[in-house]
Amino acid sequence: MDKEIKRAIDEMTKVVKGKDHIVKKVLAAILAKGHILLEDIPGVGKTTLAMTISKTLDLKYKRMQFTPDVLPSDLIGFSMYNEQTREFEYRPGTVFCNLFLADEINRTSPKTQSALLEVMEEGRASVDGVTHELPNPFIVIATQNPAGSSGTQMLPDSQLDRFMICLSMGYPSHEAAVDILRGYAGKPKEECETILTEQRLRTLQQETEEVYVSEEMLEYLVTLSEKTRISEQIKLGASPRGTISLLKMSKAIARMEGRDFVAPEDTAAIFTDVLAHRMVRSAAARMGQFSTAEILEQIFQEAKQP
């Protein structure tokens, strides 16, 4: 692995205990300029992960707890009349940062969800006909609680497609849980240090875009996506945006490993994380109790690697 990136991951895992693979994939998504969706129960460290990443990568961080009364203007800002100047002045919203944590995105209204997703896609916010550019880089980490969904507005499949990857942190292992408790039992918790500057992160993102992808790998990625569309176990397969995300994440993994070209093992590392949340299982798959991850794993194994 690239020494600089490994140092950043090691620094993050000082705080985020026992989730090295999650930290690596989130960092890969950031290098690929993608947004991350974390679907998990409360209290497993999603906020801690976002704060640790912002500190290690020197990113301006903001967090918003989404509730039914949050308005689009809370996110993208609004114009307010100034009696002294007799002009309307723009007040930026909370999305004007480098790393935005949208906590429990499924608890706010579809209108507010759409406002955030529009900003994610375009990298700018338009208020009263005036366009305001967001900082670069701009990354969204959104969380969604799959349990206790009463009174929530779950993201539609078309909006889930806007997230590059979807991850679940899960419960910590026994050893990791003991480490977490140790930090609250008299021994001070470890604090992470800044490893990469904002400018260096932009450079790494540019280097990730320049990673070489052979014609054989391009054919391979398209074939994998096509297999999800013709599978009898999948009702809605991967979109072209999903295939592009697969390409970008594969390039990011290759860059993290210190290579300037994409190999099949790069795609294997993130295949399910990129595509699972975009899939809709068929009735037969649901009756057979096949999970989306199991179906994708079978598709990946059956595809011929270049």
What are the residue boundaries of the structural domains of the chain, listed by start?
3-182, 210-302
- Across 172-187, average pLDDT: 78
- Per residue in 232-271, pLDDT (tens digit) is 889 888 999 999 999 999 999 999 999 999 999 999 999 9
- Per residue in 153-170, pLDDT (tens digit) is 777 777 788 899 999 988
Which CATH fold topology does 210-302 show? Answer: Helicase, Ruva Protein; domain 3 (1.10.8)
- Across 181-191, average pLDDT: 63
What are the beta bridge partners of residue 141?
Answer: 36, 101
Amino acid (one-letter) located at 206? Q
The answer to whether 251 and 218 have CB atoms below 8 angstroms apart is no
The answer to whether 274 and 165 have CB atoms below 8 angstroms apart is yes
The answer to whether 179 and 17 have CB atoms below 8 angstroms apart is yes
Please state which of the ranges 8-22, 215-229, 254-268 shows the lowest mean pLDDT: 8-22
Distances (CA, A) of 106 to 66, 67, 296: 8, 9, 25
If you ran DSSP here, which 8-state letter would residue 1 be given? -
- Per residue in 40-91, pLDDT (tens digit) is 877 888 888 999 999 999 999 999 999 889 999 999 999 888 888 888 888 9
pLDDT band for position 276 (cuts 50, 70, 90): very high
The answer to whether 306 and 214 have CB atoms below 8 angstroms apart is yes
User: Half-sphere exposure of 206 toward its Cβ, with a 13 Å CA cutoff?
Assistant: 7
Tokens of 23: 């930290």
Give the pLDDT score at 188: 47
pTM score, whole prediction: 0.91
Cis peptide bond prior to 137, omega within 30° of 0:
yes
Give the pLDDT score at 109: 87
Give the pLDDT score at 147: 63
Q: Which of 158, 219, 204 is nearest to 27 (CA)?
A: 204
Candidates 3.40.50.300, 3.40.50.1000, 3.40.1350.10, 3.40.50.1820; correct CATH number of 3-182? 3.40.50.300
- Across 116-123, average pLDDT: 88
